[in-house]
Amino acid sequence: MNDDHVYMTLAEGHEDDSRWAYGTGFEDPLHGVDTAVPEGVDTGRLAADCVALADDALVSAQRLAEWTTRAPELEEEVALANIGLDLLGQARLLYARAGQVDGSGRGEDAYAYFRDAGDFRNVRLAELPGGDFAFSIVRLLVLSSWRLAHFEELSSHPDPVLAAIAAKGVKELTYHRQYAAEWAVRLGDGTQESHRRMRKALEQVAPYFGELFTAHDVRDEVVAVLRQVTEAGGLPMPVYRPLPGAGRAGEHTEHLAPLLAELQSVARAHPEATW
């Protein structure tokens, strides 16, 4: 199957679909794709992995959306918005695949809008408040480096649908990581104030590193990227300690529930609405 095949369906035949939210105006994002699960693949594990990765993407996209009208420059506002849209696209496909293989038949909206915070499986770093631009750049650098390394592994997954989603995501995440790395070096090697803020951001993000590596052990790849970027920006390499993957177990910070309340408010107020 061509890696682009999964995404091609997003742009076809949407005229008569009036479903809700980011599903509105779109048919099933996996419409037309052979979604049979290969023999030997654990459907429960596959569904859980898809939901967790989709939750990471959805929550990260919501945080990036908070920069709309607030970014330092219009160009950066557009860039961050586009990165968020990439992540929403990944979330759509992953949620759709989860609903197919977990036996529930749920669609994207059910996963995104009608689950409570304790049902989400995103890593905690994604849900932290946005902070300043330096914090958002450091978080994006860490999460995109981690997600890219994991998606590179998943591109050879025995499930062809997840493999195709991952392969497409690799192209997007490569840009996300490059964007964040360039800004990290620019700010780290910039003014005294920008350097100070980057150091502070690295300190704020560091306690959540361990959870990432517990969820998906791609530590060597991520550490290599962070070391290269921090050295180029004259920044200290953050210290991390292995921690239990609380987010993957449904244990979150106090920041996730308010984020979801805002994200889900209209859909929950009008659950059967179409437009």
Give a yes or no: residue 202 inside a domain.
yes
Tell me, yes or no, whether 9 lies in a domain.
Answer: no
Is there a domain that residue 30 lies in?
no
Is residue 28 one of the residues assigned to a domain? Answer: no
Task: Please report whether residue 8 resides in a domain.
Answer: no
CATH number for the domain harbouring residue 145: 1.20.1260.10
Number of domains in the chain: 1
In a domain, 52, yes or no: yes
Q: What percent of the chain clears pLDDT 90, i.e. is strictly above it? A: 69
Spell 179-190 as b/e; 16+ CB within 10 A means b: bbbebbbebbee
Residue 245, SS3? coil
pLDDT digit string, tens, across residues 5-22: 433 333 333 344 433 333
pTM (global) more than 0.85: yes
Per-residue pLDDT tens over the stretch 232-261: 999 999 887 766 558 999 999 999 999 999
For residue 195, the enclosing domain spans 38-269
> Is residue 175 included in any domain, yes or no?
yes
Report the Cα 248 to chain-centroid distance in Å. Answer: 14
pLDDT for the residue 243: 63
Q: Is residue 193 part of a domain?
A: yes
